[in-house]
Structure 1
Amino acid sequence: MIEIDPNEQVLRIVRKHWFILLGDLFLLVICIAVPFVLLFALNLLPFGELFSFSGTPAFAGSFFLFAWLFIVWMIGWTLWTNYYLDVILITDKRVFTIEQIGLFRRTSTSFRIDRIQDTTVIQHGVIQTLLHFGTIRIETAGEGPNFAVPYIKNPYDLKKFVNEVHDRALERSQLVHTEKDITKESA
C-alpha cells in the first residue's frame, strides 16, 4: 500500500495503454473457441466408443466446457487486474510506480521528484507511434536502478508534465534556500 503524506497532493495517475490488452484478449477469444471446436470435432468421431461415461456424453461435454470457460474467465480476470493495477502516481513531491505481478505480488517504487536528472521517451515502430504509447525512462540522482515503465499512453505528454513538476519542485527548494540565507545574513 502506498502511503502519501497528508500535505502531498496527487497530480496525476497514469496507466498503461489499452492496446497491450488486445493481444491478451485475442488469446482469450481463441481459448474460448477451442472447446466448441473440439466438441464439434468429437461429435464427428465415434466418441462413445472411445470413452465410456456413466451419464450421457452431453453432460460430460457440458461439464468440461464450463470448467474450461471458468479457467479462461479466471485468466482473463488476472490479466485485467495486472493491467489495471499497474500505475504511475505523480504527486507534487514524489513519483510512485506500482507493478502488479499476478494476483498476490506487487512491486512498488518511489523517488523524490527533485531527484530527477533525465526523462526519456522511447517509441518503437509504427503502432506505438500512431497509437501514442511507448516507454518512459526516468533517471534519478542515486545509486538505485533507473525507472522505466513500458506501454505508457501519451508518453511525451507525461514527460512534459514530469519535467514541469520537477521544475516547480526545484523552484520551491531554491526559494527555501534563499529565504534561509537571507535570515542567516540578517541575524
Structure 2
Amino acid sequence: MSYNPFELKDFRDGERVVALVRHHWFVLFREIFWLGILFIAPFFLIPIAFGISAQGGGLPSVPPGVVIFFASLWTLMIWHLLFARWTDYYYDLWIITNWRIIDIDQIGFFNRNVATLLTLDHIQDIETHVDGIVGTILNFGSIKVQTAAAKAEFLMSEIPNPVSIEKIIREAQEEKIRVFGAKPAAHE
C-alpha cells in the first residue's frame, strides 16, 4: 500500500476524489527566482568588495575563514527558505470530490489546516478570473465560489486552468445532486 499524504479518513459513502488542485507552477517559480538572485548575490558582491579593498578602498581586511563562514550561513538560510517555499507549494492544495471541496493549508513545516470549505450542493455561482498578460499566456487565475452556506464565498487563487477547474466543479456538483440529492446543511 502506497503512502498518500492527502488521503482523508472521513470520506462519505460513495465519495471520491475528482481533482487535486495546487497553485500554478509560476507562483513557485516567481519566488524561487528571487531566492536564486539572493543566493548568487554574495558570490558577485564579495569578490567586488575584496577587489575594492585590495585597491586601498575603505573596507577592512577580513580573514577568508570569516567570509566562508558567513557565505555558508547565507547559503544555508537560502536553502531553508527554498525548502520552506517548496513545502508550502506542494502541500497547499484543494481537493475536489464529488461531494465537497476540501482546503488543505500548509503552515510552516509541521502545521496543516484541513477544512471542508463547502458541499457542492450549496454552490450558487462560480466566477473565474484570469488577470494580466502573464496569467493569460500561462493560463492561470482564480476561482471565486459563492454559496448558500454560512461562509458566503471562498477563493481559489493562482490556480492553473481556472476554466477547466470550474467545469470539473460544476460536473461534480451535478453528479452529487443527481446521485445523492441536494441535502440541507444540517444533515452533513
For Structure 1 versus Structure 2, the TM-score category normalised by the shorter chain is 0.7 to 0.9
Percent sequence identity is: 30
Tell me which moved more, 20-29 or 65-74.
20-29
Match of 1:134 among 128, 136, 141: 141
User: How many Å separate the matches in 2 of 1:145 and 1:103?
Assistant: 30
**1:154: which partner in 2?**
161
Q: Is the 8 A contact 2:93 2:103 kept in 1?
A: yes
List structure 1 runs of 4+ shifted beyond 4 angstroms. Answer: none
What is the SS of the residue equivalent to 1:158? helix
Rounded Cα–Cα distance in structure 2 between residues aligned with 1:58 and 1:4? 58
**Residue matched to 1:50:** 60
Between structure 1 and structure 2, the one with the greater Rg is: 1
Deviation of the 1:99 alpha carbon: 2.3
Offset of 1:51 from its aligned partner?
A: 5.1
Please give the secondary structure, in 1, of the residue aligned with 2:143. Answer: strand
Is the 2:17–2:96 contact (alpha carbons within 8 Å) kept by the matching residues of 1?
A: yes
Aligned to 1:35: 42
Counterpart of 1:95 in structure 2: which amino acid? Answer: I
Contact 2:22–2:92 (Cα < 8 Å) also in 1: yes
- Indicate how the Cα distance of structure 1 residues 102 and 70 shifts in structure 2: closer, same or farther if over 3 A, else same: same
Describe the shift of the 1:166–1:102 C-alpha distance in structure 2 as closer, same or farther (beyond 3 A).
Answer: same
* 1:1-187 → structure 2 map (5 Å cutoff): 2-5=8-11, 7=13, 8-44=15-51, 45-46=53-54, 50=60, 57-110=63-116, 111-174=118-181
Q: Matches of 1:156 and 1:69 in 2, distance apart? A: 40
Determine if contact 2:142/2:162 at 8 Å carries over to the other structure.
yes
1:24 maps to amino acid: E
Structure (1/2) with the larger helix percentage: 1
Q: Is the Cα contact below 8 Å between 2:23 and 2:89 reproduced in 1?
A: yes
Unaligned runs of 5+ in 2: 1-5, 184-188
What one-letter code is carried by the residue in structure 2 that aligns with 1:93?
Answer: W
Q: Structure 1 unaligned runs (5+)?
A: 177-187
Offset from partner CA, 1:82-107 (integer Å, 9 cap, x none): 11111010112111012223334444
Q: 1:164-184 deviations in whole A, cap 9, x for unaligned?
A: 1101111124499xxxxxxxx
CA 50–117 in structure 1, closer or farther in 2 if over 3 Å, else same: same
Deviation at residue 76 of structure 1 after TM alignment: 0.5
The alignment covers a number of residue pairs equal to 172
User: What RMSD, in angstroms, separates the aligned Cα atoms of the two structures?
Assistant: 2.4
Question: 1:122-177, CA deviations, whole angstroms, 9 ceiling, x for partnerless residues?
Answer: 1111211121110011111112141101110011001001001101111124499x
Q: TM-score, normalised by structure 1?
A: 0.82
